[in-house]
Each structure stands twice: as C-alpha cells, then as structure tokens.
Amino acid sequence: MGERGDIVLPGWQTMSYFSDVSNLCWFLEPEFAHQVRRLHSLVGNAVVDDGRFIIVGTGSTQLFQAALYALSPPDAAEPMSVVSAIPYYSSYPTVTDYLRSGLYRWAGDASTFEGDAYIELVCSPNNPDGSTREAVLSSKNGKTIHDLAYYWPQYTAITGAADHDIMLFTVSKSTGHAGARLGWALVKDKDVAQRMTKFIELNTIGVSKDSQLRVAKILKVVLDMYELPGNKHRLFEYGRRQMSMRWRKLRAAVKASGIFSLPEFQSSLCRFTGEETETYPAFAWLKCEKEGVEDCESFLRNHKLLTRSGRHFGVEAKYVRISMLDRDETFDLFIQRLLSLR
Amino acid sequence: MGERGDIVLPGWQTMSYFSDVSNLCWFLEPEFAHQVRRLHSLVGNAVVDDGRFIIVGTGSTQLFQAALYALSPPDAAEPMSVVSAIPYYSSYPTVTDYLRSGLYRWAGDASTFEGDAYIELVCSPNNPDGSTREAVLSSKNGKTIHDLAYYWPQYTAITGAADHDIMLFTVSKSTGHAGARLGWALVKDKDVAQRMTKFIELNTIGVSKDSQLRVAKILKVVLDMYELPGNKHRLFEYGRRQMSMRWRKLRAAVKASGIFSLPEFQSSLCRFTGEETETYPAFAWLKCEKEGVEDCESFLRNHKLLTRSGRHFGVEAKYVRISMLDRDETFDLFIQRLLSLR
C-alpha cells in the first residue's frame, strides 16, 4: 500500500459529535459508509443495498452489545436468553454477562437450548473452529445475530452475498487494523438500527471520527487497487497466500507430531476469486490426541506454547485455539516448538 | 494552531490491539499519556504524579461506566446505589440504567439519599448549573467519582490541583475535539484502575489508537505554545475570551428580557493565569421568572429556541440548560431571539 494509505488529519477537523445529522446513525462518517458499501460490492460477501442501514461501532464488540440491546424487549420480566452453538467464541458469554444486565443473559449452547424466545449468535466462519455455520434454532420469537468477522476471501471461499437481519463486520479481521477499534453492522430493520444507534449513543456518544476517516482512506486504497488492471498489490489475494502458507506449515507440524489433530475443510468455489479454494481460518482449533493429556492448554504451556483452552469455548480441555494472525517471527517460533513435541 | 496540529497516519501504523503491554492500561498510547501528564502539570488542575494511573476511554462517558463497574461489588445481592446532587447531569441516570445492570442502579438526588453504601457523582464545575461542587455525602462505604470535564481555565478559575480517587476528563471539553471520542481518568487505586481497564476491554477491547495519536499531537501543539515566550496563540486564554464574551451577551439579553434569571458566580484567583477570574460555564442554567410559565423549555421552543428542560436534571421545568459551546452564528441567533422575548 506504501504511502497511498497515509492520511493527514488537520488539527481543526471533525471536532463535532455529529457526522451526518440526516442519517439515522448520526455519528457515521459518510465517506466511511461509502467505502464499506464499495467493499461489500467488490467482495460480494454481503447484501448492502440502499435499504440496509450501516451502523458504525467501536469494533464489532460494541456492535454485538448494541444488537443484544436492540433485540431484547426493554420491559420483560426475565432477561432474554443469549445462545450460540459450541464451540462458541469465548467472549460471547463474558461480554453478555459482565454487567449482569436485566435485558439479556448468557444461556449457553444453542444446540441444547429449550425455549421459544432467544437471541442466537451465529459466527461464520466460526471462531474458534473455522466451520461454516447457520443458525441451529428456529422460532417465531427467536432472533439471530450473524457475526461475519471472518467472512473475507483471505479466510474462506465467498460462496454468496449474506443476507441476514443483522450482520457484524470488523476492520480488525478485514484489513487487520485492530488498533482502529472499528466495526460496522448491516441491519435490515429500521427499529433495530435505531435502537443499536441509541445503545452506542448511551455507551460512548458515537465512534471515533479519526478512525472512521483513516479506515475510509485505507479501504479506498485497497479498493482502488482492484480497479487497476493487472495490479498485483491486492489485499485479499496477499492475505490468502499468507494464510495458506501458514496453514501448510501448521498441518505439516501437526502431522509430524502424531499427537494432535486439526479440523478438515471442504474446498468451495469462491465467487470473488473465481477459483476453488480451501478454508484458512484465522484461528486453528487443535485437539490433543495424546493419551493421558486431558488439559491441552497446560500441556502446551509447559512447552512454552500459549493457546486458549477449549473450556472457554464451551467444550473439553482437549481442545485449544491457536491464533494464526500473529507476527511472522512469533508464528514460526510456534511451529518450531510444536515440531519438537511427540 | 494552523498546520502545526496536523497529523499524518501511515496506512501500516498501529494495527495491533496493544499499545503498551507493560502498562496496566495496555491500550493506552504512551505518547497520549505523556501529553496528558504535561497538560495537567501546566494547568495545575489535577494531581498527576507517578503513582496515579491514567486510563484512556472512548470519551468520559465510557470511563464513567468503567468507574461504576469498578466500584460496584461483583457479587452483591442488590445493585449499588448511584447518586448525584440536583441539578445533576441528565445523562447520569440514563447511562447508569439503560442496561438494567444488577451491579449498579440510579438512586437519584444525593442530598436526600439515605443509606451507607453508594457511588456519588460529583461534577465540578457542575453540568448544568456551573456551580463549584464537593461531595454532599460521606460514609466509610461510600465512593465518589469526580467528573472534572469542565475544570479548565476557559470555564473557571483553577484554584488548585484536584486530588480525588477517580477523576474524569474529556477531550470534548478541554480542546473541543468531541469527534475524537476520547477521555481519560486519573485513578489512585490500582485495583480500581485494573477493573476500569477490564471494563473497557470487555466493552470495546480498548480505545481508538488513531484518536489517541491525533489528540496527543494536538495537545503537544497546544502545550508547546505555552513554552514560547510572548506567544499569543494560547488555547485556554483564547477560550476564556470567547466564553467571557458569550456570557456578557447572554447576561445582557437576560437582563433586557426581564423574565429570566441566571446563576451568579463569585470570582476567584486562578492559579493558572494568576488573575482574579469569573466562572463562564459551558452551559447556562436559565430560570424562567415569568408568571404563568411553568414549562420553560416549551415556552422557549414556541419562540424557536431549543434548550433542555430542568426535568432531565432532576428539578422543575422552570429551568432549562443552554449550550454555550455552539457555533458563533447559532449562538448569536439564540441571543437575538432571546432579546425579542418579554
């Protein structure tokens, strides 16, 4: 990207709370919204027609809470049940419950949930195990939030434009700018979009304009690269090459060890690249098959390998989650140490 | 400030979640922390010695919630009572209660609160009425949060360095960059600082680095101006001149009307400027003295003047809050319309 992604922010700029008073999401920078629409149009991973509302958030973590707030009845006697099929993203239970809200409450594994009213979180490709997912529950009073943080061409085949009621995306996993703390939701229903906006107003009175303007610039440069014919500096292809290389190294190390296993994925036709492609998740879901090892996280920590135990994801401690997005040096050191295990 | 306040952010910069893993507040940019310390040292409005923790937040609204979370026992049977003396900032009750948290709950006017355990919010100078305040409650089990958003030389005399357990500040009211959504807390106790950091981790996984770096640059330029002898481009003096002029206009209009009154403030010696100075609050707390008018907000709205009713601040509707920080054109139009009332 070179210097093309630089942005200059003058000292006097963007001082007001407001970005666009005519927009339902009044703190959404129009240029950021424009680049988000352009991005989805290029990649083809989500429907982003004019009827869809864009809500910007301080990362998708804030948008997740905004969606819980928007989907929970404000005056119910009991908190709404929030569920997700195991293994689920370890932050879902923690972030749902840390304020002990009377509006919503973590209720565990969606697959074993009994009840009619719920909010189901569907993460696809799934964090931690990389699987492609759909909602497991279905009910007139049930709602779903689709967390599509990883539905980008560097991680998986783009098989079609997702068209759900609430879809969450984040800059952290699309371009990798986690430090900008920026995400966005695509929302079908106007009332839901309004309540999500209200949540962000109450929670942080809007979202950093500096991050919105900067990320808009970065997205613009990324997208412009796809309009120059024959250009080789294309983000998603670069990301896919990196992920593919890392997964090759990881699979080789796991095979050599003989004591671990990894999920297998079917390849699919990616409509973005036009090629049959494998899935290369941002996290690897490693299972320890070694006899006598019940706690894989401890076993690996004893060998100076830091992972996150399956227990946080609602399953057995034989599983751990490994980040595939660390720096090259860290990742290569991880592979070296893994190779030394038998 | 001219171009000196500009910042260039390269596309590749600040991608990680982490700013400083060695710091308790791991998402705090060291350069932002450095400029915050420099700022308080110059202005002399708060103790910022090395023992004090700086926690950065997405505006002081997020830090307020972080402090409620940090001060509420995690396993109490009843939510902690949150109180503030009337008239209190209208967002305190709303932001405390929107998630119906089991940890804390709005309990109204501090002056009439009966009980031993509470969190008292002390805003000084106070939003909405500009009064200088201290805590009204005192108890072994009581905690205080000092909201010092307006304790800057453009609004009031700096009579000494505040030295409370938790002090909240925001860029919105110090330099006026509300769009950056950036605030900071100065915290004495390590456990409290840790729990506030945890809240922000769960709420938004940190705070925009782009805003932190940009505001650090803006503060640096503001502060550098005070190190050049004889320099006339000094932010706080400029702000004070603007506020003083606006208050003069407002007081003249109110006097001419004969149907309103405003609070009077005593002047004090400002240790920052070395001069005896009046208070020029960011909001004016207007009382309607006209017979037959009980709802001042409606009365003013009928004359195309938008204000916020005293009811939101816990008092009678005879009061309204007026923003003194709008653009020049809007403020002047406001004064013109006010002058037409009798």
Interchain proximity B179–A207, CB inside 8 Å = no
What local confidence, expressed as pLDDT, does residue B294 receive? 96
CATH classification number, B19-225, choose in 3.20.20.70, 3.40.50.720, 3.40.50.410, 3.40.640.10: 3.40.640.10
Distance CA B325, CA A208 (A): 20
Facing A211 at nearest CB: one of B17, B99, B208: B208
Distance CA B78, CA B118 (A): 11
- The three-state secondary structure class of A185 is strand
What average pLDDT does range A162-180 have in this prediction?
96
Indicate the average pLDDT of chain A: 95
Which one-letter DSSP state was computed for residue B180? G
Mutate to test the interface with B, among A195, A214, A325 (most CBs of B within 10 A): A214
Residue spans of the domains in chain A: they are 19-225, 235-339
At A121, phi and psi to the nearest 5?
-95, 125
Distance CA B188, CA A320 (A): 38
What local confidence, expressed as pLDDT, does residue A5 receive? 84
Distance CA B101, CA B67 (A): 14
Chain A residues in contact with B3 (beta carbon < 8 A)? 10-11
Nearest chain B Cα to A326, which residue? B16
Taking alpha carbons only, the member of A218, A10, A325 closest to residue B11 is: A218
Distance CA A176, CA A1 (A): 13
Q: How close is the nearest chain A Cα to the Cα of B49, in Å?
A: 28
Q: How close is the nearest chain A Cα to the Cα of B64, in Å?
A: 10
What local confidence, expressed as pLDDT, does residue A260 receive? 97
Q: How close is the nearest chain B Cα to the Cα of A174, in Å?
A: 12
DSSP β-bridge partners for residue B187: B53, B166
With 0-12 CB in 10 A as exposed, 13-18 as middle and 19+ as buried, what is B291? exposed
Q: Are A282 and A173 in contact (CB under 8 A)?
A: yes
Type of residue found at A98:
Y
Residue written as tokens 């997740």?
A64
Q: How close is the nearest chain B Cα to the Cα of A232, in Å?
A: 18
Laid out side by side, the sheet with B183-187 consists of B53-57, B183-187, B166-170, B142-147, B118-123, B80-84, B104-109
Task: Kindly state the tokens that stand for A245.
Answer: 């290389």
Q: Are B146 and B124 in contact (CB under 8 A)?
A: yes
What local confidence, expressed as pLDDT, does residue A342 receive? 78
- The three-state secondary structure class of B121 is strand
Residue written as tokens 């000092």?
B146
Task: Kindly state the tokens that stand for A132.
Answer: 């492609």
Interchain proximity B61–A176, CB inside 8 Å = no
Chain B residues in contact with A204 (beta carbon < 8 A)? 58-59, 61-62, 181, 204
Interchain proximity A15–B176, CB inside 8 Å = yes
Task: Kindly state the tokens that stand for A243.
Answer: 């992920």
Taking alpha carbons only, the member of A112, A166, A105 closest to residue A137 is: A112
Task: Kindly state the tokens that stand for A34.
Answer: 């424009």
For the segment B134-157, what is each residue's pLDDT rounded down to a tens digit? Answer: 999 999 999 999 999 999 999 999
For the segment A190-248, what is each residue's pLDDT rounded down to a tens digit? Answer: 999 999 999 999 999 999 999 999 999 999 999 999 998 877 789 999 999 999 999 99
What local confidence, expressed as pLDDT, does residue B1 receive? 59
Type of residue found at A222:
V
Pairing assessment for the beta strands A268-269 and A308-309 based on DSSP bridges: unpaired
Which one-letter DSSP state was computed for residue A158? -
Distance CA A147, CA A25 (A): 20
Q: ipTM for the complex?
A: 0.96
Q: How close is the nearest chain A Cα to the Cα of B109, in Å?
A: 21
Distance CA B273, CA B131 (A): 20
| Contacts across the A-B interface (CB distance below 8 Å) | 169
Distance CA A263, CA A285 (A): 7
For the segment A10-51, what is each residue's pLDDT rounded down to a tens digit? Answer: 888 878 899 999 999 999 999 999 999 999 999 999 999 889
Interchain proximity A177–B14, CB inside 8 Å = yes
Q: Are A280 and A155 in contact (CB under 8 A)?
A: yes
What local confidence, expressed as pLDDT, does residue B147 receive? 98
B235-339 falls under which CATH superfamily?
A: Aspartate Aminotransferase, domain 1 (3.90.1150.10)
> Would the CA dihedral through A225, A230, A236, A241 be positive or negative?
negative
Distance CA B160, CA B157 (A): 9
Q: Are A149 and A123 in contact (CB under 8 A)?
A: yes
Pairing assessment for the beta strands B142-147 and B118-123 based on DSSP bridges: parallel
Task: Kindly state the tokens that stand for A171.
Answer: 């800059």
Interchain proximity B180–A208, CB inside 8 Å = yes
Structure confidence at residue A1 as a pLDDT band (50, 70, 90): low
**If you count them, how many residues does chain A have?**
342
Peptide bond before A125: cis, by omega within 30 degrees of 0?
Answer: yes
Nearest chain A Cα to B195, which residue? A98
Task: Kindly state the tokens that stand for A53.
Answer: 């509302």
Chain A residues in contact with B202 (beta carbon < 8 A)? 61, 91, 94-95, 98
Provide block-wise average pLDDT over 10 residues at a time, chain B (342 residues).
Answer: 80 87 96 98 95 97 98 94 98 98 98 96 98 96 97 97 98 94 98 98 97 96 90 90 97 95 96 95 97 96 96 97 94 94 84
What local confidence, expressed as pLDDT, does residue B15 receive? 87
Q: Residue B329, Cβ neighbours under 10 Å: how many?
A: 8
Interchain proximity A9–B214, CB inside 8 Å = yes
Taking alpha carbons only, the member of A67, A60, A112 closest to residue A86 is: A112
Distance CA B3, CA A69 (A): 42
What local confidence, expressed as pLDDT, does residue A7 receive? 85
Chain A residues in contact with B5 (beta carbon < 8 A)? 10-12
Q: Are B14 and A7 in contact (CB under 8 A)?
A: no
Q: How close is the nearest chain B Cα to the Cα of A221, in Å?
A: 9
- The three-state secondary structure class of B19 is coil
Taking alpha carbons only, the member of A304, A288, A306 closest to residue A342 is: A288
Distance CA B120, CA A148 (A): 41
Q: How many CA atoms lie within 13 A of A141 on its CB side?
A: 10
Distance CA B179, CA A205 (A): 9
- The three-state secondary structure class of A26 is coil
Chain A residues in contact with B176 (beta carbon < 8 A)? 15
Within 8 A by CB and 6+ apart from A146, the residues are A122, A124, A162, A164, A165, A166, A167, A168
Facing A101 at nearest CB: one of B5, B99, B209: B99
Q: How close is the nearest chain A Cα to the Cα of B205, in Å?
A: 7
Laid out side by side, the sheet with A166-170 consists of A53-57, A183-187, A166-170, A142-147, A118-123, A80-84, A104-109
For the segment A52-111, what is each residue's pLDDT rounded down to a tens digit? Answer: 999 999 999 999 999 999 999 998 899 999 999 999 999 999 999 999 999 999 999 999
